Amino acid sequence: MLDHDVDFYKNLFGLVENFGLKLNDNFWEEEDKATDSENELLEVPFTEEEIKLVVCDSYAMGAPGPGSFSFMFYQTFWEVIKGGSMHFVRDFEAGKLNLWIGLACCDYVDS
């Protein structure tokens, strides 16, 4: 079952085949583009408080995700798992999270 979940999310979030499609440089009007300062704000790493807020505001009884845990698990045990969860998010933000080599759950568990 875990293999099925991991494969599902690898396909969902994994690398996308490049079909050679590209927007022309003039596709967006200049006033519709993000400014440098807006872009900097968009690239700021998530804070622990922001991530906790998202976890706590998520529907607790929803369908389980990878590893068969619903958000109720994450909400209940946030203080125990937040270190590993934050490590996971930081790897994602840095572009170092490679779903194709597998998500070894134990790599993100607090010791």
13-59 confidence digits (pLDDT tens): 766 777 888 888 889 999 999 999 999 999 999 999 999 999 999 88
pLDDT confidence band for 109 (50 / 70 / 90): very low
3-state secondary structure of 25: coil
Domain boundaries, the chain: 2-14+26-108
**Neighbour-count burial of 46, counting CB atoms closer than 10 A to its CB (0-12 exposed, 13-18 middle, 19+ buried):** middle
> For residue 88, what are the CA distances in angstroms to 31, 32, 35, 36, 110?
35, 33, 29, 27, 11
pLDDT confidence band for 111 (50 / 70 / 90): very low
Mean pLDDT of 94-109: 61
pLDDT confidence band for 100 (50 / 70 / 90): low
pLDDT confidence band for 98 (50 / 70 / 90): confident
So what's the pLDDT on residue 4?
74
